[in-house]
Amino acid sequence: MSATGESAVWPVRTARLEVRQGTEADLETIWQWRRLPEVSTWLSSAPSTFEEFRDRYADPERLATTLIIELPPERPGEPARPIGDIMLKREDAWAQAEIADAARGVEAELGWTLDPAYAGRGYATEAVRAVIDVCFGTLGLRRVHAGCFADNEPSWRLMERLGMRREEFSRKTALHRSGEWLDGMNYGILAEEWPPGS
């Protein structure tokens, strides 16, 4: 099983989008929006060249956690248009040692970027909602969580639109590459809190 779950899960279609497993061939396109200052300022890693980016993200383990958000072709024969990416990293929950096996692979961490040219249209919300549906449906996970800098308002607003609960607001706990200590926010939601087909 990959970090994102069984590969047969993808692609998933929404009303306007498709979310599919990322491939090495997607990296050059992803780089086009991830290199933009308004995107890279919030990312945990911001390589300065495509070569550095490719070296990091072409790693099979990292690539296995990468999903692509696409707009379907406008006309037959045209290619789909990638507009964003989602990290879906399946992970273990904390457990006491005697029952640790029961906590393996039951949670997921999410992260996302969207090409700013497509911001403000609800695409990120639609795509992340579809991924959470898969997490709590097909993958049978119990909890999903995500975090961001508190100054990244579009990100935490998206989490709140999806019904995720703010679980932590931490003061100056994250050292930004600017050299400034920034506040952080973490959100989560449980399977039993997620409305089916939301």
Mean pLDDT of 161-181: 96
Work out whether the CA dihedral 56, 60, 17, 124 comes out positive or negative: negative
Which residue, 198, 182, 33, is CA-closest to 114? 33
Chain segment 118-134, per-residue pLDDT in tens: 999 999 999 999 999 99
Preceding omega of 11 cis (within 30 degrees of 0): yes
* Res. 1: pLDDT tops 50: no
Give the pTM: 0.93
Chain segment 33-82, per-residue pLDDT in tens: 999 999 999 999 999 999 999 999 999 999 999 999 999 998 999 999 99
